Amino acid sequence: IDWKEAGEFTDIKYHKAEGIAKITINRPEVRNAFRPLTVIEMSRALDDAREDAEIGVIILTGEGPDAFCSGGDQRVRGDTGYLEDPENPRRTPGGASVGRFHVTDFHVQMRRCPKPIVAMVAGYAIGGGHVLHVLCDLTIAAENAIFGQVGPRVGSFDGGYGASVLTQLVGPKRAKEIWFLCRQYTAREALQMGLVNAVVPLERLEEETVRWCREMLEKSPFALRMLKASFHAHEDGFAGIQQLAHDANLLFYGTEEAQEGRDAFKEKRRPDFSKFPRRP
Ligand code: 2NE
């Protein structure tokens, strides 16, 4: 596949080819840990991929064979969250640095993105990096992939999607094991648990991931959009129902019945819905 660079970034690489966008966390020296700038850039790229009508599927991956992502960059972890400018952080009157979790919004953005997102995992998917793959719609893993949460070991936890979606994937007992014990799991173990979709040799990882993407690109984009929203409707509560409902409204706008309402308003007349069936 002939990837073309699709924007200049500091912490990520962003490519497009054949209807696929690829976001690569490019910090291999720290096992692709994300700092605030990394998340800000991933968010911009994801937004671009969503807006680009040529793009149907998005790959999220990490640079190099050693890691997909090792989670939040602990070197810029301040007293109350992660710091955009660690040399000169905002401070409370008491002197503590004021940070935040940039990934919170990014997780929501991934969930609401109407195009499938595929995690392409080589090496470690650990901590907040593991949560990123959990949040992807599909995961293709290389044989060297290693999965796990580390929060309770390093003084952190993700009780948001990091817990709830993981439970959906592997069941509550396993999800609690993963979080409470902080063990590492091989790609094969992850496959057995339903945590990933496929395991392939490292040298075939991209080829196989692209193959899955191409298969999805052959399918109806709107059907995929509705399915993604449907899968999340219950899990995401009102926000999930809102996405699905607005997608249904988008379809309704395409009908004569909805257009009669619009046209009547514009023509300043009473709408005539009499010819539309009251469906059983
Ligand atoms: C990922 C893992 C298991 C890899 O181990 P290994 O032995 O292959 O590599 P090594 O030597 O540990 O790491 C290579 C370099 O990358 C840095 C290391 O400090 C090391 O640097 P140097 O000694 O060469 O200078 N590095 C790796 N991960 C980093 C990280 N996350 N932040 C900063 N530097 C990192 C092993 O490296 C590991 O366990 N990493 C730490 C995993 C971790 O604690 N992640 C954060 C969890 S909390 C989180 O992600 C989070 C959240 O819970 C809620 C909201 C937002 C984020």
Show pLDDT as tens, one digit a residue, over the chain (280 residues).
Answer: 999 999 999 999 999 999 999 999 999 999 999 999 999 999 999 999 999 999 999 999 999 999 999 999 999 998 889 999 899 988 988 888 888 899 999 999 999 999 999 999 999 999 999 999 999 999 999 999 999 999 999 999 999 999 999 999 999 999 999 999 999 999 999 999 999 999 999 999 999 999 999 999 999 999 999 999 999 998 889 999 999 999 999 999 999 999 999 999 999 999 999 999 999 9
How high is the mean pLDDT of the chain?
Answer: 96
**Residue 67, φ and ψ in degrees, nearest 5:** -155, 140
Split into its structural domains, the chain has a count of 2
What is the reported pLDDT for 79? 86
- With a 6 Å cutoff on the Cβ, whether 91 touches ligand 1 is no
- With a 6 Å cutoff on the Cβ, whether 70 touches ligand 1 is yes
Q: Could you identify the atom of ligand 1 that is nearest to the CA of residue 82?
A: 56
User: What is the share, in percent, of the chain residues with pLDDT greater than 70?
Assistant: 100
Q: 144 and 98, same structural domain?
A: yes
CA of 146 to the centre of ligand 1 (A): 13
Give SS3 for 5: strand
What is the reported pLDDT for 80? 85
CA of 30 to the centre of ligand 1 (A): 6
**Domain boundaries, position 98:** 4-217
Q: 168 and 53, same structural domain?
A: yes
- With a 6 Å cutoff on the Cβ, whether 167 touches ligand 1 is no
Question: Of 251, 256, 257, 259, which Cα lies nearest the Cα of 222?
Answer: 251
pLDDT in tens, 192-216: 999 999 999 999 999 999 999 999 9
What is the reported pLDDT for 74? 96
Q: Could you identify the atom of ligand 1 that is nearest to the CA of residue 104?
A: 55
CA of 145 to the centre of ligand 1 (A): 15
pLDDT in tens, 78-91: 888 999 989 998 89
Mutate to test the pocket of ligand 1, among 42, 70, 105 (most ligand atoms within 8 A of CB): 70
The Cβ of residue 273 has, within 10 Å, a number of other Cβ atoms equal to 12
Is 273 contained in some domain?
A: no
In this prediction the ipTM stands at 0.98
Q: 261 and 212, same structural domain?
A: no
Among 217, 249, 275, the domain boundary falls at 217
What is the reported pLDDT for 235? 86
Q: 134 and 204, same structural domain?
A: yes
Instruction: Please name the residue whose Cα sits nearest to atom 47 of ligand 1.
Output: 127
Q: 139 and 243, same structural domain?
A: no
Task: Mention every residue, 6+ apart, whose C-beta is less than 8 A from residue 249.
Answer: none
- With a 6 Å cutoff on the Cβ, whether 162 touches ligand 1 is no
Return the H-helix or E-strand segment holding 144: none
Q: 73 and 22, same structural domain?
A: yes
Is 276 contained in some domain?
A: no
Spatial distance between the Cα atoms of 27 and 35, rounded to a whole number of angstroms:
10
Give the pair of three-digit tokens for residue 104: 């919170």
- With a 6 Å cutoff on the Cβ, whether 144 touches ligand 1 is no
Return the H-helix or E-strand segment holding 147: strand 146-148
- With a 6 Å cutoff on the Cβ, whether 183 touches ligand 1 is no
- With a 6 Å cutoff on the Cβ, whether 123 touches ligand 1 is no
Half-sphere exposure of 71 (CA within 13 A, CB side): 19
CATH number at residue 28: 3.90.226.10
CATH number at residue 234: 1.10.12.10
Is 193 contained in some domain?
A: yes
